[in-house]
Chains A and B, each alone.
Chain A
Amino acid sequence: MAMRAAILRYIRLPARAQTLAAPRSREWTLLGGSSASRSMSSHGDDHLTKEEVVERVLSVVKSFPKVDPATVTPDVHFQNDLGLDSLDTVEIVMALEEEFKLEIPDLEADKIDSCHLAIEYIHNHPMAS
């Protein structure tokens, strides 16, 4: 009986020691550091690789009816190179939002002017999927 209590006390001790140690809390702060991440959600887990983002963005831009698919490259500017209107840019940004299940704030969406900016923004967005 005393031995059982002694063994239980011994087994219990490491858990207490771990809660007081720094590594655990550091682990939590690393996870909770970026304000946009939710650690218990499975949305946004599939971190997109750059090539995948590029491929999907290009496919969205190429399927736009006013765009010639042969001229689309990852560096193309919507208004200068593709000859699109500012309203067409708005439509493309909306199509990208739908493709990657994102919600881009209005002022940020206004600044997306080229494929390069779009790829950067989507790649760096934590919730893109």
Chain B
Amino acid sequence: MSAAAAVSTAGYLARRAAQKEKVRILYRRALKDTLNWAVHRHLFYRDASDLRERFEANKHVEDLDTIDRMIADAEASYNKWRHPDPYIVPWAPGGSKFTRNPTPPAGIEIIYDYGREDND
């Protein structure tokens, strides 16, 4: 058992690193979602610490398959709880100011001739 784990160390570490990255991204999204649902800061702090407790409770799991299953379950529950109208920074994709005033393409000019006609 330990020999098998030692032989596939590189693969094991790669899988663990991928899982850790998934967990970090999931925590980030869940935290943003928590802020979306709980708009007021005092409620958000309480919910954020609850979320942190849930993540910390599973911190010491070592088995790769269990971790994969837990990540899949957590992502499913995150998708279930996503806010329908999340706060996105206005200039970012999905925000209200995104592509509101795009820069005009190069070479387009406004000729200010104030309606002067050609036969003047």
Which residues of A are at the interface with B, using a C-beta cutoff of 8 A? 5, 8, 12, 15-16, 19, 24-25, 28-29, 31-32, 37-41, 43-44, 86-87, 89-91, 93-94, 101-103, 106-107, 109-110, 127
Decide if the interface of chain B is mainly helix, strand, loop or mixed: loop
Instruction: Answer whether residue B12 sits at the interface, using C-beta atoms and an 8 A cutoff.
Output: no
**Bound CA–CA A40/B25 (angstroms):** 34
A87 to chain B, nearest CB (A): 5
**B55 touching A15, Cβ below 8 Å:** no
In the complex, what residue of chain A is closest to B105 when comparing beta carbons? A32
Query: Could you say which of B89, B100, B102, B107 contacts A25, with CB atoms under 8 Å apart?
Result: B107
Q: Which residue of A lies closest to B20 (CB)?
A: A86
Instruction: Report how far A89 CA is from B28 CA in the complex, Å.
Output: 10
Q: Can you list 9 A-B contacts with CB-CB less than 8 angstroms, sorted by A residue number?
A: A12-B116, A28-B104, A39-B103, A43-B97, A86-B23, A86-B24, A102-B89, A103-B91, A110-B25
The distance in angstroms between the C-alpha atoms of A106 and B32, with both chains bound, is: 11
CA of A39 to CA of B101, assembled, Å: 8
The smallest beta-carbon distance between A114 and chain B, in angstroms, is 15
Which residues of B line the A interface, CB within 8 A?
Answer: 20-21, 23-25, 27-29, 31-32, 52, 55-56, 88-92, 95, 97, 100-109, 111-113, 116, 120
